[in-house]
Protein backbone atom coordinates (compact mmCIF):
# COMPACT_ATOMS: atom_id res chain seq x y z
CA UNK A 1 0.00 0.00 0.00
CA UNK A 2 1.31 3.45 -0.82
CA UNK A 3 1.93 6.57 1.15
CA UNK A 4 1.86 9.65 -1.06
CA UNK A 5 4.25 12.54 -0.33
CA UNK A 6 2.77 15.90 -1.35
CA UNK A 7 4.05 19.41 -0.74
CA UNK A 8 1.72 22.40 -0.78
CA UNK A 9 1.55 26.01 0.36
CA UNK A 10 0.42 26.13 3.99
CA UNK A 11 -2.82 27.94 3.14
CA UNK A 12 -3.86 25.15 0.72
CA UNK A 13 -2.69 22.11 2.70
CA UNK A 14 -5.69 21.66 5.00
CA UNK A 15 -8.10 21.84 2.09
CA UNK A 16 -6.16 19.25 0.11
CA UNK A 17 -5.95 16.92 3.10
CA UNK A 18 -9.64 17.26 3.94
CA UNK A 19 -10.66 16.70 0.31
CA UNK A 20 -8.66 13.47 0.11
CA UNK A 21 -10.09 12.08 3.35
CA UNK A 22 -13.68 13.29 2.76
CA UNK A 23 -13.69 11.74 -0.73
CA UNK A 24 -12.23 8.51 0.70
CA UNK A 25 -9.13 8.71 -1.49
CA UNK A 26 -6.95 8.60 1.64
CA UNK A 27 -7.55 7.03 5.02
CA UNK A 28 -5.44 9.67 6.74
CA UNK A 29 -3.28 12.64 5.80
CA UNK A 30 -0.52 13.84 8.11
CA UNK A 31 0.60 17.46 7.82
CA UNK A 32 4.04 18.72 8.80
CA UNK A 33 5.51 22.19 8.41
CA UNK A 34 8.68 22.40 6.36
CA UNK A 35 10.92 24.81 4.50
CA UNK A 36 11.61 23.91 0.88
CA UNK A 37 14.56 25.15 -1.16
CA UNK A 38 14.14 24.53 -4.88
CA UNK A 39 14.90 25.81 -8.35
CA UNK A 40 12.03 27.29 -10.38
CA UNK A 41 12.34 29.24 -13.63
CA UNK A 42 16.11 29.36 -13.22
CA UNK A 43 16.06 30.91 -9.75
CA UNK A 44 16.56 29.34 -6.34
CA UNK A 45 13.59 29.83 -4.02
CA UNK A 46 13.05 29.14 -0.35
CA UNK A 47 9.46 28.89 0.88
CA UNK A 48 7.51 27.65 3.84
CA UNK A 49 5.40 24.70 2.79
CA UNK A 50 3.33 21.92 4.26
CA UNK A 51 4.33 18.32 3.74
CA UNK A 52 1.35 16.00 3.41
CA UNK A 53 1.65 12.23 3.83
CA UNK A 54 -1.49 10.61 2.45
CA UNK A 55 -2.17 6.97 3.31
CA UNK A 56 -4.03 5.33 0.45
CA UNK A 57 -4.43 2.04 -1.42
CA UNK A 58 -3.15 0.81 -4.76
CA UNK A 59 -6.68 0.98 -6.19
CA UNK A 60 -7.23 4.61 -5.10
CA UNK A 61 -3.77 5.92 -5.96
CA UNK A 62 -4.49 7.15 -9.52
CA UNK A 63 -7.71 8.87 -8.43
CA UNK A 64 -5.86 10.50 -5.50
CA UNK A 65 -3.19 11.87 -7.84
CA UNK A 66 -5.80 13.20 -10.26
CA UNK A 67 -7.70 14.88 -7.41
CA UNK A 68 -4.55 16.49 -6.00
CA UNK A 69 -3.74 17.83 -9.47
CA UNK A 70 -7.29 19.27 -9.66
CA UNK A 71 -7.21 21.11 -6.32
CA UNK A 72 -3.50 21.95 -5.93
CA UNK A 73 -2.52 25.58 -6.61
CA UNK A 74 0.92 24.77 -8.09
CA UNK A 75 1.48 24.31 -11.83
CA UNK A 76 3.78 21.38 -11.02
CA UNK A 77 2.80 19.85 -7.67
CA UNK A 78 5.19 17.49 -5.92
CA UNK A 79 3.43 14.11 -5.73
CA UNK A 80 5.63 11.12 -4.91
CA UNK A 81 4.61 7.55 -4.16
CA UNK A 82 6.26 5.41 -1.52
CA UNK A 83 5.23 1.77 -1.33
CA UNK A 84 5.28 -0.04 1.98
CA UNK A 85 5.83 -3.77 2.07
CA UNK A 86 5.89 -4.22 5.81
CA UNK A 87 2.91 -2.71 7.65
CA UNK A 88 1.32 -3.50 10.96
CA UNK A 89 -1.57 -5.74 9.89
CA UNK A 90 -4.18 -3.85 11.90
CA UNK A 91 -3.08 -0.55 10.30
CA UNK A 92 -3.16 -2.06 6.81
CA UNK A 93 -6.68 -3.35 7.43
CA UNK A 94 -7.89 0.01 8.76
CA UNK A 95 -6.39 1.82 5.77
CA UNK A 96 -8.01 -0.54 3.29
CA UNK A 97 -11.40 -0.21 5.00
CA UNK A 98 -11.17 3.60 5.10
CA UNK A 99 -10.45 4.09 1.40
CA UNK A 100 -12.96 3.19 -1.28
User: Which CATH number covers residue 63?
Assistant: 3.30.70.120
- What confidence score (pLDDT) does residue 61 get? 98
User: For residue 87, what pLDDT is reported?
Assistant: 83
Question: pTM of the entire structure?
Answer: 0.90
Quick one: average pLDDT of 2-25?
Answer: 98
User: CA–CA distance from 73 to each of 69, 83, 85, 99, 100 (Å)?
Assistant: 8, 26, 32, 24, 25
Rg (CA), the chain: 14
- How many structural domains compose the chain? 1
What is the Cα–Cα distance from 77 to 42, expressed in whole angstroms?
Answer: 17
| pLDDT tens profile 30-88 | 999 999 999 999 999 999 999 999 999 999 999 999 999 999 999 999 999 999 888 89
Domain, as residue range, for 13: 2-98
In residues, how long is the chain? 100
Nearest to 78 by CA among 28, 25, 5: 5
Amino acid sequence: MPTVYITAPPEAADGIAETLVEERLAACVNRLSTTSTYRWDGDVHRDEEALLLAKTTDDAYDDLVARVEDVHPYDVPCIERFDEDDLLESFATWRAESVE
